[in-house]
Amino acid sequence: MSEIVLRDAYYSELPEIANVMSKAFWGDNLFGDLIHPHRNEYPDDVDLYWLRRARVNFWDYRWKWLVAVAKDKNGNEVIAGIAQWARLGEGGKKFDLWFFDPRNLVKPLSSVAMKIHAWARPSRAVDPKEEDIIERAYPHFDSIWS
């Protein structure tokens, strides 16, 4: 592998990003044990959790997606790591788009598409009662982040 370069992620890389996230959090207490208790029986299904969220949040301009890429022996880019974060609270409003910007439609449409995807292809690795635990915690984040 060659030197590692940081750059913005592309939407087309989200499946690979989801796989990197699955591997990174495989043994984590929250994302591994609590949310994905059946991950050993259905290891490929863990990617669905990360992929569905990424496909929605990629279109939220408060979120930033970076990848660390290297070139393999054939010269193809390989994702070696990822970073993502979101500017929550009042401070994130400066990243919002103009009200009439048509790009505002992409996130809600993607959300609907991912709900249909989850219905048609549910993750067998997940505990359905815990899958949205992070999203349920969002209302409590205001007192933590600005």
pLDDT band at 64 (very low <50, low <70, confident <90, very high): very high
Indicate if the pLDDT at residue 113 is higher than 70.
yes
pLDDT in tens, 41-57: 999 999 999 999 999 99
Is there a domain that residue 138 lies in? no
pLDDT in tens, 86-102: 877 777 777 777 888 88
Is there a domain that residue 36 lies in? yes
Neighbouring-strand partners of residue 6: 68
Is there a domain that residue 134 lies in? no
- Tell me which of 135 and 116 has the higher pLDDT: 116
Give Cα 51 to chain centroid, integer Å. Answer: 6
> Tokens in use for 85?
């974060």
Domains held by the chain: number: 1
The label of the residue with tokens 């993502």 reads: 84
Quote helix, strand, coil % in the chain, to nearest 5.
50, 15, 35
pTM (predicted TM-score): 0.85
Is 58:14 a contact under the CB 8 Å cutoff? Answer: yes
Q: What percent of the chain has pLDDT over 70?
A: 93
Is there a domain that residue 139 lies in? no
Is there a domain that residue 128 lies in? no
Query: What value does the mean pLDDT of the chain take?
Result: 90
Give the range among 31-45, 84-98, 116-130 with minimum mean pLDDT: 84-98
